[in-house]
A and B are shown apart, each in its own frame.
Chain A
């Protein structure tokens, strides 16, 4: 039987899309968490961190309930926009974004907090607004944090199993990602295929992390 590359491709497609979305959501969220003093900030911080402690099956179960066309949210999405989130690739994206959020937000939030406040104050006094200061002063001085957040979120999305299984099921080409494919092959006692999927994931994860540590050292040396 020829080897099926689709689960691997799907996995990386998912990880890339999720990481891109997390950049857009994660950076403003981390900025707000690092600088805001409102009282209900703790509530938001708790919600962001929940995926760290929740069993993936719990999160997957609730998301599945909400995404279901019988739920008002899932139903509304299906009727108004024609998007079905349960057992679909868009559903996997939404679930993975929620699940990997803390891995993106925490390092970036720590990065914002470790910058001396005088740095952004100096930029404000030099006539630069908050947005311009963020882009031209704060983000360029926290590249290691941005890199860690990005890589952790990316790697975590690649490795996710529980949530994906609950939300996506096992539809070939739609929701069958590599981690699910490994499980299938092992169940079918097809160890050589499982070994290939697992080996590719292992090698890629190793390569990504190695690159991060090497790059991080370089980044830290230049700053």
Chain B
């Protein structure tokens, strides 16, 4: 059980705002933080890790109080049993893969744990390589293995896969899920990718300007209530071309590009780049813009 109840004044692009979050996670839960840049998602993770102190509040993980402003408790990051994976991997450039993993050991002699983790993540044949000679995906795999060796009570993933290509991303998503199944670690994932959120988590918290606006299963959070039960798919508008009395809209769904026909009403406030929801009404697909 993780209790995260924090407040902090933040400086965003559009002015100052207050981060006010009260979140409870069950042990072993996988939760996504979703929201626009500068909403406070990363700050929230950094508060849990102890890298940024909240102005006020309380963070309790399991039976341990990590932060409590009323009791003047604030554990430094190295006393919190937490794993963190950064977007830019943050491997130690002067250590090879094996030594990067060994660095995470609390007990320096527990080399068996390192070997196990190397085998588990398929890094065995890369163990003497240095980070600079690894691909992005390999580096992130090392970072993940290193974070797990700390045996964290909570694993914080700050957009860990956003710098990777689609194939690598899918592979690492599977590996994170496999690690979760094996160790049962509670995971908080910051992500901008809807597909990733749907695949990885059972619960998503939408953060906007420092407040949680929505909290629930991804399907419920991202689909308007009245639309439930119908065929529907998220897409992005690429182009809108007039077609006699109708319009032809080219949309991107995942990696697929499709052209559909739409009425003037449907396209009047649409522009290329808009996110839309496609759904089936009677016989042909219709679309509405997602605000």
Contacts and interface: CB of A to CB of B under 8 A. Distances in A.
Interface string A103-124: 0000000000000101101111
A137 B92 contact: yes
B94 A223 contact: yes
A141 B92 contact: yes
Contacts of B49: 121, 125
Interface stretch (B65-73, B74-82, B196-204, B224-232): B74-82
B103 to A, nearest CB: 6
Contact of B103 (A121, A123, A129): A123
Contacts of B76: 124, 129
Nearest to A122: B90
Interface in A197-214: none
A4 to B, nearest CB: 46
A126 B144 CA distance: 12
Contacts of B222: none
Nearest to A118: B90
Contacts of B210: none
B146 interface: yes
Q: Which DSSP category, helix, strand, loop or mixed, fits chain B's interface? A: loop
Interface in B84-125: 84, 86, 88, 90-94, 103-104, 106
B160 interface: no
B83 A125 contact: yes
Contacts of B26: none
Given A122-B90, A141-B94, A223-B93, A127 B50 contact: no
| Most interface-central of B49, B77, B106, B150 (chain A CB within 10 A) | B77
A127 B49 CA distance: 11
B87 to A, nearest CB: 9
B84 A125 contact: yes
Given A116-B90, A119-B92, A141-B93, A125 B82 contact: yes
B78 A127 contact: yes
A125 B103 contact: no
Tell me which of B76, B103, B147 has the highest count of chain A C-beta atoms within 10 A of its own C-beta: B103
Contact of A127 (B86, B88, B91, B150): B150
B50 A126 contact: no
B48 to A, nearest CB: 10
- Using C-beta atoms within 8 Å of the partner chain, give the interface range for chain B: 20 to 34
A125 B75 CA distance: 11
Contacts of A129: 76, 78
A128 interface: yes
A125 B77 contact: yes
B61 to A, nearest CB: 14
A208 B207 CA distance: 57
Given A118-B86, A121-B51, A123-B103, A128 B93 contact: no
Interface string B213-246: 0000000000000000000000000000000000
Given A127-B150, A128-B78, A129-B78, A121 B106 contact: no
Contacts of B50: 124-125
B171 to A, nearest CB: 23
Contacts of B82: 125
Contacts of A141: 92-94
Nearest to B156: A125
Contacts of A121: 49, 51, 77, 84, 86, 90
A195 to B, nearest CB: 45
Contacts of A123: 92, 103
Interface in A105-162: 116, 118-119, 121-129, 136-137, 140-141
Contact of B104 (A116, A118, A126, A140): A126
Interface string A176-202: 000000000000000000000000000
Nearest to A136: B103
A137 B132 CA distance: 16
5 contacts: A119-B92, A121-B51, A125-B49, A126-B103, A223-B93
Interface of A: 116, 118-119, 121-129, 136-137, 140-141, 223
Closest 9 CB pairs of A and B: A124-B77, A122-B90, A118-B90, A125-B84, A140-B94, A126-B104, A127-B78, A125-B77, A124-B78
Given A121-B49, A140-B94, 8 more contacts: A118-B88, A123-B103, A125-B84, A126-B104, A127-B104, A127-B106, A128-B78, A136-B103
